[in-house]
Every structure is written in C-alpha cells, then in structure tokens.
Amino acid sequence: MKTWNHRFTALGLALLLSTLGSITARADSTQGITDTTIRIGNMGPYTGDASSFSALNYGPMAYFRYINSQGGIHGRKFEMVTADDACKETTGIAAAKKLIYQDKVFMVLVTPCSGVAMAIKPTLLEDGLPWIGVSANPKLTTPTVPNMFHVTYTGVYSGRAMAGFALSKPNTKKVVLVAHTNDWARGYCDPATELMKEKGVEPVMNLALERGSTDATAQALRIKAANADFVLGCLYEAELAILLRDLHKYSISVPVIGALGADFESTHKRVNNPAAVKNFYLPYQFKAPMGSPTMKKWEEMFVKFLEKSELPENGVPTNFYYFGLPPAIATVEAFRRAGPQPTREKFIAAMETLKDFDTGVLADKVTINRDNHVGVHVMYAVGLNEQGKQTVFTAWGKPLQ
C-alpha cells in the first residue's frame, strides 16, 4: 500500500509540476498583455550626446496613440513604457532588464544605438522577448534569431546604397572612407567597400574619426591631398557635421554621403552653413519626398498625437520621426494577424507572414519569413538640387519622379 501511495504521490507531484510549468510558460508567453492593453517597451537615448536619435522613439508613440484612437487591436490598446539608454551599453542593459523584469513589457522597440542593441541582445534571446528595432548593425538579425526583426534598413543595405550612389556619379574612381572604429561604422563601411570592389573600385583611403572628436582638420587635408571624387562618412551626426564644416573650411568641395547615424535636416542645423552642405547626401529610406502628400499624412499624425515636448522645438518633424514608424506599423499588423488571443509565439509567427507588406513609409516593401528577419533592402538618396531644394535621387542627378 505504501509503495502504491508513494508512486501515486510521485505521479501527482510530477503532474502538478508539469501543470505549473505549462502555466508559467503561458504566463511568460503573454507577459505584457491584459484583456485591454498591450505593454510595449520604447527604448532609446532620451538624454545624452545622441539624444537627437530619440525622435525615432516618438514616431512609434504617435502611431500607437493613433491606433488607440481607432479602438486598438482586437479590443486592446497599446501602452508605451519608455526607457532611457543614453546610447550607452551599460545603461542600456539596465534599462532593458527594467523593462523586461519590472515593467513586464511584451516586447521592445526602436533602440536606435547599435552598441546598446548588441549589448541587450543576449538578454532578449535568453528571455525570448520580441524586438523590432532601428539599429543598423546587421549582426542583430543575421544570422536569423527567432525573436528579433529588422523592418528598417540594416547597415548592409544602407552601406550598399551609399556606395551605389557615389558610384552612380560619372567618373567616380577615388573614394575615401571616413569612419568611427566601431562595429556600427563597419556595419556600413564594410558593405559599401564590398559593393565598390564588385564594381572594380578600391577605396583610396580609410580614415578614422572617433566619436567625440571636435576637429576633422587632419582628415579634411588628407581628403584634399587624395583629390577624392567622393567621400563616404560612416559617422554619427555630430562627427559628420564636424567633417562637413572642416571640408568647407579648407575649400574642399568633394561630395559626401553619410550613413543613417545622421538625420538630413538635423545635420544641416548642426553645420549651420548652407555652403558647407551643398554637396552633402544621405541614404533616403522613404517612398516619397518629405512634404509630398504621401508623407504629409504622417506629419499631420505626428502633430496631432505627439505632445509639444515630443516635437522639434523649431520646424517640422525630421526624418528620424518617420524612420521610427515602421517598427510600430509592423507590430500593429502582426498583432492584427496574431488574432484575439496573442502570445509571443503567435506574434513571431505572424511577423514571419509579412510579404510585400507596404508600411506606407519606406521605399521598399517588407518581406519576412522564418529564415530571413531582415525585411527591406532598396533605398534612395537625399540631397540638395542645383536650386538648393531638398531632393530625393534614385541615382546621381536623377530625381525621384
């Protein structure tokens, strides 16, 4: 009898532990979801030297508020929890853990700084929390990992766009790279270099300009000595502005295309000299020029749903506001497809059904499947035309129609 009771007790305990385990798994899988809300972590550099990137975080805020005004998705409204990473790895790790374990969000969005995104990746993978970010480092999603997605451009395709635009200028042979010595910069400059080599062009010079630099005289003079046809700047916005100012200071009129660590309008404001930016370009992520009817509707949404403190102090929302939108748009679509009882597994599966999905924002349509979590590839370039008007180009001298 004791043997039977012992076996029965052991069996009952095993069943109980199994049941509790499955309950725990289900609870983890629906963390951040209630009958009426979906809690999303909105992580970015709200303070510090890279705080201009926080505009990327305000795009999703506006979109989720807009969706909430329409009644939400399957009866649930989005609740945004912001976390400041100050674009620093250690701060970012602490912020991510607070979002996951204290605020108990369902997923994390945006994370503009690649160093921070890479630093929190192990935590995200361990916990299985979905992430849809704008960080450019391709190592975040390549090789493919189950719970992390890019629905904006990684450094691979941005870097190739930079090089492609430079090489589309007739007789471009002497290309100089100016870059930070970090993974983020290599994420742009390495793919750019690969494309140039495919086209039979070797960079004539690779120059370092570290983060925090306040002078680019040495780099400018070496560019002048090389008689460069084009400069590729794999730099964050502050250092890119310094390079542009110093090139102008030494009367070097070479065209420069920067990376997506900068915003076009914001860079112009930093340089504060129209003559120094007349040959300045950036990869352009969007399907139409700013101010066009296609993009104007998003500007109106920003103005309607963002608070005054979340909008620029002067002027209209910058490109970064728009570039922050696709992660939120894809998130809403995935929840729509996941159905009325969403879980992490259903959400991830829904993300992997996106095919030729038009965000209404980006130049390319989003396609994601189980083996590929990088959704967009094709982009343009933005700069000033001969009349000094901001213009989107498909190639050198060819405006987007």
Per-residue pLDDT of the chain (401 residues; tens, 9 = 90+): 333 343 333 334 333 334 333 333 334 899 999 999 999 999 999 999 889 899 999 999 999 999 999 999 999 999 999 999 999 999 999 999 999 999 999 999 999 999 999 999 999 999 999 999 999 899 999 999 999 999 999 999 999 999 999 999 999 999 999 999 998 899 899 999 999 999 999 999 999 999 999 999 999 999 999 999 999 999 999 999 999 999 999 999 999 999 988 989 999 999 999 999 999 999 999 999 988 999 999 999 999 999 999 999 888 898 899 999 999 999 999 999 999 999 999 999 999 999 999 999 999 999 999 999 999 999 999 999 999 999 999 999 999 97
Say how far apart CA 197 and CA 145 lie, in whole Å.
30
pLDDT for residue 401: 77
pLDDT for residue 159: 96
> What is the Cα gyration radius of the chain?
23
Region(s) of the chain under CATH 3.40.50.2300: 37-153+293-351, 156-284+380-399
pLDDT for residue 115: 92
The pTM assigned to this predicted structure is 0.83
pLDDT for residue 325: 98
pLDDT for residue 49: 85
**Fold that domain 37-153+293-351 belongs to in CATH:** Rossmann fold (3.40.50)
Q: Please choose, from the candidates 198, 274, 275, 271, the residue with its C-alpha nearest in 3D space to the C-alpha of residue 235.
A: 271
pLDDT for residue 104: 97
pLDDT for residue 183: 83
Domain 156-284+380-399 - what CATH class? Answer: alpha beta
Residue 82 contacts by C-beta under 8 Å, 6 or more apart in sequence?
Answer: 42, 43, 44, 46, 57
pLDDT for residue 12: 43
